Structure 1
Amino acid sequence: MPLPFLASLYFDGLPPWFPDPLVALKYTTALGSLALTKWYTSGRPNPSERKLHGRVVIMTGGTSGIGAKTAFQLASRGAQLCLLTRQPPNDPFLVDYIDDLRTRTNNQMIYAEQVDLASLHSIRQFATKWIDNAPPRRLDMVVLCAATLTTPGHKRSETEEGIETEWMVNYLANVHLLGILSPAIKAQPFDRDVRIIIPTCSSYIGAPKLEPGDVTDKTRFWSPKLAYARSKLALMVFAKTYQKHLDAYKRPDQLPMNARVVIVDPGFARTVGMRRWLTRGSLLGLFLYVVFYFVAWLLLKSPNMAAQSILFAAMDGGLLRGPGGKFIKECMEVDFARRDIEDEEVAKKLWEESDKLIEKTEKASALRRAREKKEKEEREKVEEIESLVETIKKGKAKQGEEKKKKKKKTTTTTTTTTD
């Protein structure tokens, strides 16, 4: 059978049903290029594997996007997850989400704590409660996946405490949380592998240089893109400085610090945040996104593949060797694209200004809460007095009515007797 077919090809050429070789080559090349592009943009899978049974992980941003995939993978390996969420633990969505996560991972050690990352007071309430324990609570990992962005075309927004929202959630909240949790991190036994994983974004490359006064100055030029990039750049500078802060601590047992800060760039993925950015938060943008979804599918990672670099940072044993503060991208260590990330002068000024801003904001917030509490107490006192007066009035009115009824009854009885 093969010989006659080959002979027919040799003497008679290609059969009529066989496609034109040039057309076949064109389509094969196109499909091959698309497949190669998709393979490249999907990113590298995590080559490290590790059991996490018994390890305690504090995580922000674990209910959506890349954070949700990371939470699932950590929980499926046995980690005890403490998810910091803006919603209270009894929120119906959060209850269903945690129940589903427990079921899918067969891990019941998953729970939530309400922490509003847009509030320094909320962060302090959780963190001080965590460290207020003797002996110190176990803490193996902190994963800071939470982030926010302002869609292009929208105006600058501030938190209730008066801080620009992106700067607060993406940077200052992490600084405040890690600052208060430092004693718990430092107190972990030497044989324990402690990691602080800080995801970032490649947009930091285009961020303006951090200058003195950037933390508190509200008059500088602002745009959604630059604000997001600047918050990520500041977070990376802080991460390097925080590792030095941990290394400078002298343990009571005189052993080296066992905590490692790992900075991770998960890459661009098809997350809710990315969709908001691409669609500009408009219906027209959403329509165009759906129409050209193939382009987004081709060029952007899935959330699960974007989480691979974070999982590598959580599980790779090689990261314990050598100093901390390493930068991971595509499941491998890479260099920073900017030198000022390791500039000690920039880091020192950023650290000092951030501390001053946190202290100033917390004092103002405490005064405001005290004033509101006092006003509430006075209002309740006034309402209580008014309620008491109203009760007395009603009592007197009731007594008057009873006297009238009694008097009327007495008059009626007297008249009947006279008759």
Structure 2
Amino acid sequence: MPIPFLASLYFDGYPPWLPDPYLLLKYSTAAATITLTKWYTGGRTNTAERNMHGRVVLVTGGTSGIGAVTAYELARRGAQVVLLTRLPPTDAFLVEYVDDLRARTGNNMIYAEQVDLADLYSVRQFATRWIDNAPPRRLDMIVLCAATMVPPGGKRVETAEGVEVTWMVNYLANFHLLGILSPAIRAQPFDRDVRIVIPTCSSYIASPKLDAEVESKDWTPQWAYSRSKLALMVFARAYQKHLDSYKRPDQLPMTARVVLVDPGLARTPGMRRWLSRGSLLGLLLYLIFYVFAWLFLKSPEMAAQSLLYAVMEGSLVSVPGGRLIKECMQMDCARKDVDDEEVAKKLWESSDKLIERVEKQQAVKRAKAKKEQEKREEEAKKAAQVEEIESLVGAITRSKAKSAKVTAKGSNEAPKKNGKKGKSAGNNAKYNASHCHPVFFTNKLRRPPFTILPGPESSPVVHGYVYQEGLRGVDKSAGPRL
């Protein structure tokens, strides 16, 4: 077939039924360019594997985006996944999500715990419950995928505790969680490969220094997000040093490793909210130009490949912690202040002071609210008692009034009845006696009076007196005995 076709092209020329060669070349070049661009922006695929059966993994942000893909891949490999979510485990969406994840992975060891990263008290409650166990609960991995971002042009938003929401969710909550879980991580056996995987973003490169004073009027969503990611990276390196400084009772080295991961730009709900600026018009434009988002942004599945590499690569346990993984490769950080111990010390101390101050304030508010609640409950209880007493008094009053009314009515009708009865009493006295008591007043059936004999036979029973027949050898005319 190719030889006759080429011979026809040589002798007969270009056939008319084929498209124009220049047009064919143009379309082929465009298709090849799109394919290569998509292949390049898609990133590398994870090739590492690891046995995850029986391993306990805590995952934040595991219900959407990259976190959802990571949770799915870990569950598919047999890990026991604990999803830390803002919603309570009884929420209808979360129940359906967990059931669906169990069905798709064939793994029933998937659970959900409520941890609101915008609330330090919620973080402390969960972490305290986790470590308050003897012996210590098994913990193999912590994957912190949860993050938030205010859309461009948005205003500064604070949590109920008065902390800026981006700083709170992206950095401070993770700092608080890992700080409380530190004893549980250090208590794991030596042969257990414990990893703390912390996703970050390349926006940290453009962040201002952490010790720089920035006024509130200069606050922008981009600045807040990049600063929170830089603080998270500085804390991750400092936390690895904190774990390495622990002296185990068995004098063996610490095997827990902190791993930073840059998954790249992906088509996640957070990125969609960022590109659409949180508006309906922006969402419409995003849908119209979705082909560009598809071409230049990774899918959540491809963005999660670097996280899976950080989770499963065996060589990471033999190298110092705090490494940065990008495109399934170990890379160096782009900023030197990430390893600055002075900056890390100031950040750690300021974060501790902020958490302590906020928790004290919230503890006072909770105690005040509890006291007010108890006061309201006591007042409601007293009001219920007063209402019950009033209802009883009213019922008694109504009953007395009704009795008085019946008595008054009976006294008014009594003379008429008595007069009528007295008129016929003399004529029908004999008839009335025999009519009212036809049996008991006849001499034939009247029984002799009862006699109580001394002894056990005279004792009454619990529910009243009962009749007994006369004793043997006693005259039956004495009648029955009690």
State the TM-score, normalized to the length of structure 1: 0.97
Mapped to 1, the partners of 2:345 and 2:299 lie a distance apart of: 37
Relative to structure 1, the CA distance from residue 212 to residue 292 in structure 2 (aligned partners, 3 Å threshold; closer, same or farther) is closer
1:379 to partner: Cα distance: 1.3
Deviations 1:101-141 (A, max 9, x none): 11111111100011111111111111011001111100000
Superposition deviation, residue 220 in structure 1: 6.0
Q: Helix, strand or coil for the counterpart of 1:51?
A: coil
Q: Deviation per CA, 1:9-29, whole angstroms, max 9, x where unpaired?
A: 223432223333332222211
Tell me the amino acid that sits aligned with residue 196 of structure 2.
Answer: I
1-structure distance, mates of 2:321, 2:358 = 31
Residue 90 (structure 1) aligned with residue 87 (structure 2):
no
- The correspondence for 1:259, drawn from 231, 239, 256, is 256
Shift of 1:92: 0.9
- State the match for 2:277 in structure 1: 280
Tell me how far apart the structure 1 counterparts of residues 181 and 161 of structure 2 sit (CA, whole Å): 22
Shift of the alpha carbon at 1:282? 1.1
Q: Is contact 1:212–1:349 with CA below 8 Å preserved after alignment? A: no
Q: Partner letter of residue 74 of structure 1?
A: L
Is the deviation greater in 145-154 or in 123-132?
Answer: 145-154
Task: Determine if the alignment matches structure 1 residue 318 to structure 2 residue 349.
Answer: no
| CA deviation profile, 1:323-368 (whole Å, cap 9, x unmatched) | 1000000111011111111111111100000000011111111110
Higher relative CO (CA 8 A, sep ≥ 6), structure 1 or 2? Answer: 1
Indicate the residue corresponding to 1:224 in structure 2.
Answer: 221
Q: Which amino acid aligns with 2:269?
A: V
User: In the alignment, which residue of structure 2 is the partner of 1:203?
Assistant: 203
Q: What residue in structure 2 maps to residue 117 of structure 1?
A: 117
Counterpart position of 2:25:
25
User: What is the CA distance between 1:3 and its match in structure 2?
Assistant: 4.5
Residue in structure 1 matched with residue 140 of structure 2 by the alignment: 140
Report the more deviating stretch, 384-393 or 309-318. Answer: 384-393
The 5-angstrom pairing of residues 20-169 of structure 1 reads 20-169=20-169
User: Residue 370 and residue 29 in structure 1: after superposition, are their counterparts in 2 closer, same or farther (change >3 A)?
Assistant: same
Q: Which amino acid in the other structure matches residue 180 of structure 2?
A: I
Q: Tell me the distance in 1 between the aligned counterparts of 2:56 and 2:98.
A: 16
Task: Give the whole-Å Cα distance in 2 for the aligned partners of 1:6 and 1:101.
Answer: 56
CA-based RMSD of the aligned residues comes to 1.4
The corresponding residue for 1:193 is: 193
The answer as to 2:293 corresponding to 1:296 is: yes
Question: Secondary structure, in 3 states, of the residue corresponding to 2:184?
Answer: helix
What code does the residue aligned with 1:244 have?
Answer: K
Corresponding letter in the other structure for 1:141:
M
Query: Which residue number corresponds to residue 8 of structure 2?
Result: 8
**Aligned residues: percent identity?**
67
Distance 1:119 1:411, change over 3 A: same
* Superimposed CA distance per residue, residues 376-419 of structure 1 (whole angstroms, 9 cap, x where no aligned partner): 11111112112222222222122111111111111111112133
Unaligned runs of 5+ in 1: none
Looking at structure 2, the residues matched to 349 and 285 of structure 1 have their Cα atoms a distance apart, in angstroms, of 40
Secondary structure of 1:346's aligned partner = helix
Q: Which residue of 2 aligns with 1:377?
A: 374
**Which amino acid in the other structure matches residue 112 of structure 1?**
A
Q: Deviations over 1:270-302 (max 9, x none)?
A: 111111111111111111111111000000111
Deviation of the 1:201 alpha carbon:
1.2
Measured after TM superposition, the shift of residue 182 of structure 1 is 0.3
Whether 2:346 is the aligned partner of 1:349: answer yes
Aligned match of 2:326: 329
CA distance in 2 between counterparts of 1:88 and 1:394 reads: 42
The offset of 1:212, in angstroms, is 6.2
Of the structure 1 ranges 22-31 and 12-21, higher mean CA displacement relative to structure 2 is found in 12-21
CA deviations on 1:173-201 (whole Å, 9 max, x unpaired) are 10000000000000000000000000111
- CA deviation vs aligned residue, 1:140-197 (integer Å, no higher than 9, x gap): 0000001111112221111111111111111111000000000000000000000000
AA paired with 1:66?
A: I
Contact 1:41 1:299 in 2 (8 A): yes
What TM-score does the superposition give when structure 2 sets the normalisation length?
A: 0.84
Question: 1:320 is aligned with what amino acid?
Answer: V
Letter in 1 for 2:127: A
Residue 19 of structure 2 aligns to a residue in which SS? coil
- Could you say which residue in structure 1 is the equivalent of 2:396? 399
Q: Structure 2: 5+ residue runs without aligned partners?
A: 417-482
Structure 2 CA distance for partners of 1:410 and 1:145, relative to 1, 3 Å: same
* 3-state SS of 2:31 partner: helix
1:58 aligned partner, one-letter code: L
